[in-house]
């Protein structure tokens, strides 16, 4: 990647790297071309207040309530359903690999690489399982996605599935922290909406892992119906 024309790499954190264009890109303001009514402005203000409250709670590694997770996942589905299987992303953006429930590593990454929305991030999947804080990790990422949808992008990894999470820890963690599997179901239903891949500046193709040999063009990936359990 470092040899790509028009890009250079920097390393703010051992598990991430930054793609920066030359010359710098000026990202248009969110909602720039939309006229909003006073009602929609009030609704947006209320949503942001709720999300900021969620982020405040999560900053202390405190899980959201079941009702708060439900509200968050409902809004996240609305946002993710508008994104492509091959989501276009402008640079500069920091790319981040597997987290696997390492909440405090995620907090440290934001400390070193820059907080959202000051820094743009693309997470490549595997947010849950194996670590002890899968609930807090995935909730924080989804909350940031809803609060700053143009600044953070989250792709689907192989662990964002119903089958895998019942084996490697996320399911059991949800039972332990919430007393039922409802939060697990809310998140695994949401995982179906996560984009499969991303294309940074039309140059850098990003995804969690490999592709089927039958998918030999980006258009083939765009045509997939992704809202389903991973086969």
The catalytic position among 34, 159, 208, 220 is 159
**How far is CA 43 from each of CA 39, 47, 76, 81, 189, rounded to the nearest angstrom?**
6, 6, 16, 20, 25
**How far is CA 192 from each of CA 58, 76, 80, 158, 189, rounded to the nearest angstrom?**
23, 11, 10, 11, 6
The torsion defined by the Cα of 27, 14, 162 and 66, in degrees rounded to 10, comes to -70
Contact predicate 47/110, CB 8 Å: no
34 is catalytic: no
Q: How many CB atoms lie within 10 A of CB 102?
A: 19
Catalytically active residues, by annotation: 159
């Amino acid at each position: 990647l470092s040899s790509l024309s028009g890009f250079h790499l920097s390393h703010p954190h051992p598990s991430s790297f930054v793609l920066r264009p030359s010359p710098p890109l000026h990202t248009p303001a969110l909602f720039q071309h939309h006229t909003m009514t006073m009602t929609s402005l009030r609704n947006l203000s209320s949503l942001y207040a709720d999300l900021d409250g969620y982020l405040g709670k999560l900053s202390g590694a405190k899980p959201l309530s079941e009702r708060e997770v439900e509200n968050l996942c409902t809004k996240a589905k609305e946002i993710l359903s508008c994104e492509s299987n091959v989501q276009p992303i402008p640079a500069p953006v920091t790319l981040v690999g597997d987290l696997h429930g390492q909440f405090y590593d995620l907090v440290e990454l934001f400390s070193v690489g820059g907080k959202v929305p000051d820094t743009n991030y693309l997470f490549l999947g595997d947010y849950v399982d194996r670590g002890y804080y899968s609930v807090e990790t995935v909730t924080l990422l989804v909350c940031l996605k809803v609060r700053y949808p143009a600044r953070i992008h989250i792709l689907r990894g192989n662990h964002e599935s119903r089958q895998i999470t019942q084996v490697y820890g996320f399911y059991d963690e949800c039972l332990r922290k919430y007393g039922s599997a409802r939060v697990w179901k809310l998140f695994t239903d949401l995982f179906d909406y996560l984009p499969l891949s991303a294309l940074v500046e039309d140059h850098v193709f990003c995804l969690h892992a490999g592709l089927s040999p039958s998918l030999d063009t980006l258009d083939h990936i765009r045509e997939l119906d992704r809202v389903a359990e991973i086969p």
